[in-house]
Amino acid sequence: MYEQISHSLLNQILDQLTPEIRKCDLRHFYTRLGANFYAIHSLFSQLYGERDDFKQQMLRLVEVMARQYLQRDEVLKEVDIAREKHHNWFLSQEWVGMALYTDGFAGDLQGLSSKASYFQELGVNMVHVMPILKCPEGASDGGYAVSDFRDVDARVGTLEQLRTVAGALRKRNILLTLDVVVNHTSDEHEWARRARAGEQTYQDYYYIFDNRDVPDMFEETMPEIFPETAPGNFTYDEAMGKWVMTVFNHYQWDLNYSNPTVFIEMLDIILFWANQGADIIRLDAVAFLWKKIATTCQNEREAHLILQLMKDCCQVTAPGVLFIAEAIVAPVEIIKYFGEDAVIAKECEIAYNATFMALLWDAVATKNARLLDQGIRSLPDKLNRATWLNYVRCHDDIGLGFDDADIVQAGYDPYPHRRFLVDWFTGQYADSPARGKPFGVNEKTGDARISGSLASLVGLESAMESGDPVAIQRSIDLILLMNSLIMSFGGIPLLYYGDEVGTVNDYDYINDASKANDNRWMHRPRFDWELAELRHKHGTVQQKIFTGLQKMIAIRKTISAFADYNNRELLDTGNPHLFTFMRSNPFKHGDEVLVVANFDSSPQSLTLSDLGPRARFDYSQLRDLYSGESPRMFKDQLVIPPYRFYWLSDKELP
Ligand code: OTU
């Protein structure tokens, strides 16, 4: 939008840019800056408008965007332009992701380069390389405590090698996702070290207090993220003799975004990684970006303004780069990270669908889809040109972050229901084959989350131990069932490395002092490539899971109705064991796929004619696109075997 105040400021800023910047070809940069400047200016002034140095800070912001634009590779600039043209590119059903630790999956970055063929074999074309930036040896939170935002950790390789990986993936049309840990730094980061040494400039980068007055006020309303290992939200620093806000671990210092210098530094870092070849940037812990006394310090309005500003600025320099919001918060809050009061995403284009993930686990434990169905129905409508990252497992614990009102609506009592789920997955429930562990147990609130690998949580570990073929098959079916839903729900499915070959819990972390008190490490394995070879051997567990997923991915890519255009409708079947929805191709009328998933251990039936006009299929032609087989039918009643899913259509795939 054109508006005089911001436009005249823009003119002033452009006049003040250094000659070295001004003499360059900045055509695309200028048109994008012109288009976004009104928004950038208004967001920046909402956040920092009260400051005397506001105009200097704006100038610095524009300089950072311009410098990073100048450093952006020509190849990446072409990608930007192509994506501007095909702006819906990431909504396609063709994308399938995998998240991994470089060291756990491939040893190091060089190893990772050589694994591109493995991704292709499986059909993965988006790789989320979890944090690889420099971090301290022990106190690293798996890389989420960064001590240098511009360098790769020597344990996995060099920046040069990362650029090679990026290039190699790009050649194969595989997207690269990198993490930027925006909420905090390691206490060994240079900023923290200089703050500790007494430099006020750097103390202003963090929330640092002389005494407990303010911290105590904050504590009244702030929840604890790691209550067992890092209780409280402040850490006393001996050297400084002051209290530092540390919401996560005591060695992770929260950045102070009320300081515009922090915002500009972090934007510069985001753009730096965009320029190293990242297609997508995962912004860690975005819900925590703004702190306010008497609040939970999560999901504050200003946190959203910061993200909008980051997005608007990134669009000027690197418009082809997408953001993933990692906000593991309440369902109605997650959706706001796409941006509110907008038609298309204006914060992050992609968000972790933590609600769907947790609901899937509820369906597994209860063997029915009541809460899953209810929880998804309660989700507010998503914006256009915004998409979910749908996942079953990731490197973190499973938080039962669904809504109490939905639990009640589904017919349960919230507190005992959550208790039951934790007991079920941690194997404390008599009937449960799961081998998880409780994580983040908070004695004060009764909260608990769950750690454990996909395979161990669905009972594969215990089944293999007992050698019970029925139990083994049931676990495999559950793994495929859950994955079939993230593949068909709408959004980008994100697999977690190792799950594709049924990797069970790794109990070795206990022997490493820096990991022993964080049981999330039991599902952060060192990938067993020898075991993975069994994917080629017919009849093995690894082969059944791997080929099942491989097929699912290949078929997903051909089903246009699975692209994410908010084209999903939940159907009421009257059978609580089934989760049923229709996906329709928005560009081709009548091109529809009926997804049915049976979470129960007994076969279930669904009367298709009860679905009304939504399911006007030619029953005689009905086929499961996944297996290629005709489903079992009795008249107009569909029979779904235990733990099975169907992707039903009466048309041939193109
Ligand atoms: C993220 O996690 C990372 O994924 C974790 O691995 C890190 O420990 C953490 O940030 C700190 O960097 O912030 O918005 O249940 O879900 O810690 C959610 C806890 C986060 C995690 C939470 C999460």
358 lines ligand 1 (CB under 6 A): no
Separation of CA 548 and ligand 1 centre (Å): 30
Euclidean distance between CA atoms 232 and 223, whole angstroms: 8
What pairing do the DSSP bridges indicate for beta strands 350-352 and 623-624? unpaired
399 lines ligand 1 (CB under 6 A): yes
Provide the pLDDT confidence category of residue 654 given band limits of 50, 70 and 90.
low
Contacting residues for 116 by C-beta, under 8 A, at least 6 apart = 168, 169, 172, 174
Q: Find the range with the poorest average confidence among 270-274, 302-306, 424-428, 488-492.
A: 424-428
Select from 326, 391, 518 the residue to mutate for testing ligand 1; criterion: most ligand atoms less than 8 Å from CB. Answer: 326
- What per-residue confidence (pLDDT) applies to 177? 98
Q: Residue 393 C-alpha to ligand 1 middle, in angstroms?
A: 14
Residue 278: band (very low, low, confident or very high) from pLDDT cuts 50, 70, 90: very high
Pick the closest to residue 254 from 207, 213, 324 (CA basis): 207
Q: Is the CB of 396 under 6 A from ligand 1?
A: yes
Residue with token string 């206990």 = 510
More confidently predicted of 611 and 240? 240
User: Token match 């240098």: residue?
Assistant: 148
Question: Atom 6 of ligand 1 has which residue's CA nearest to it?
Answer: 396
**What gap in Å lies between CA 590 and CA 580, rounded to an integer?**
18
Q: Kind and range of the H or E element at 417?
A: helix 414-425
Residues 448 and 458: beta-carbon distance below 8 Å:
no
pLDDT at 431 over 70: yes
| pLDDT for 4 | 93
CA distance 543 to 122: 12
C-alpha of residue 198 to centroid of ligand 1, in Å:
29
Give distance in angstroms: CA of 397 to centre of ligand 1. Answer: 9
Pairing of strands 568-570, 492-496: unpaired
- Range name among 193-207, 449-463, 581-595 with the lowest pLDDT average: 581-595
* Closest residue to atom 8 of ligand 1, CA basis: 141
How far apart are alpha carbons 213 and 211 in whole angstroms? 6
CA R_g for the chain:
25
For residues 72 and 314, the answer to whether their CB atoms sit within 8 Å is no
Q: Where are the extended beta strands (E) located within 465-609?
A: 492-496, 568-570, 578-584, 592-598, 604-607
Tokens 């040069």, residue located: 160
pLDDT digits (tens, 9 = 90+) for 306-324: 999 999 999 999 999 999 9
327 lines ligand 1 (CB under 6 A): yes
Report strand pairing: 350-352 vs 322-325. parallel
Query: Residue 474 CB: number of other CB atoms within 10 A?
Result: 19
pLDDT of residue 554: 98
E strand or H helix that includes residue 178: strand 175-180
Q: What percent of the chain has pLDDT over 90?
A: 94
Task: Identify whether 326 is a catalytic site residue.
Answer: yes
| Tokens, residue 265 | 């530094």
- Residue 614 scores a pLDDT above 80: no
Q: So what's the pLDDT on residue 1? A: 82
- pLDDT grade, residue 204 (50/70/90)? very high
pLDDT at residue 408 is higher than 80: yes
Query: What is this structure's pTM?
Result: 0.97
- With 0-12 / 13-18 / 19 or more C-beta atoms within 10 angstroms meaning exposed / middle / buried, residue 239 is exposed
From 141, 153, 268, 326, active-site residue: 326
Q: How confident is the model at residue 619 (pLDDT cuts 50, 70, 90)?
A: confident
The predicted model gives 254-271 an average pLDDT of 98
Q: Which atom of ligand 1 is nearest to the CA of 440?
A: 15
> In the chain, what are the domains?
565-649 (2.60.40.1180)
Measured between alpha carbons, how far is 529 from 501 in angstroms, rounded to an integer? Answer: 10
Span from the CA of 197 to the centroid of ligand 1 (angstroms): 29
Q: Report the separation in Å between the CA atom of 621 and the middle of ligand 1, taken as the mean of its atom positions.
A: 47
Q: Which residues pair with 324 in a beta bridge?
A: 282, 350
User: Per-residue confidence at 652, pLDDT binned at 50, 70, 90?
Assistant: confident
- SS3 string of 454-500? HHHHCCHHHHHHHCCHHHHHHHHHHHHHHHHHHHHCCCEEEEECCHH
Top mutation candidate among 297, 396, 518 for ligand 1, by most atoms within 8 Å of CB: 396
Q: Which of 504, 493, 508, 614 is nearest to 556 (CA)?
A: 493
Task: Reply yes or no on whether the pLDDT at 617 is more than 90.
Answer: no
User: Under DSSP, is residue 593 helix (H, G, I), strand (E, B) or coil?
Assistant: strand
Q: Whose CA is nearest to atom 5 of ligand 1?
A: 396
- Give tens-digit pLDDT for 122-157: 999 999 999 999 999 999 999 999 999 999 999 999
In a mutational test of the pocket of ligand 1, which residue from 286, 328, 450 has the highest number of ligand atoms less than 8 Å from its CB? 328
Whether 287 lines ligand 1, by a CB cut-off of 6 Å, is yes
Q: 289: CA distance to ligand 1 center in Å? A: 13
Question: Active-site residue among 108, 284, 406, 477?
Answer: 284
Above 80 in pLDDT, residue 495? yes
Q: Give the pLDDT of residue 486.
A: 98
Adjacency order of strands within the sheet including 604-607: 604-607, 637-640, 632-634
d(Cα 357, Cα 359) in Å, to the nearest integer? 5
Relative to the CA of 183, which ligand 1 atom is closest? 12
Relative to the CA of 286, which ligand 1 atom is closest? Answer: 14
Q: Region 441-463: what's the mean pLDDT?
A: 96
Longest dimension (CA), the chain: 79
Residues 6+ apart with CB under 8 A from 176: 127, 129, 165, 166, 169, 170, 277, 278, 279, 280
What is the CA(84)–ligand 1 centre distance, in A?
Answer: 32
Distances (CA, A) of 609 to 474, 572, 573, 618: 30, 12, 10, 11
Closest protein CA for atom 23 of ligand 1: 285
Average pLDDT rounded to a whole number, residues 453-470: 98
Cβ of 141 less than 6 Å from ligand 1: yes
Q: Is the pLDDT of residue 613 over 90?
A: no
Mean pLDDT, the chain, integer? 96
Q: How far apart are CA 187 and CA 22, in angstroms?
A: 38
Percentage with pLDDT > 70 across the chain: 100
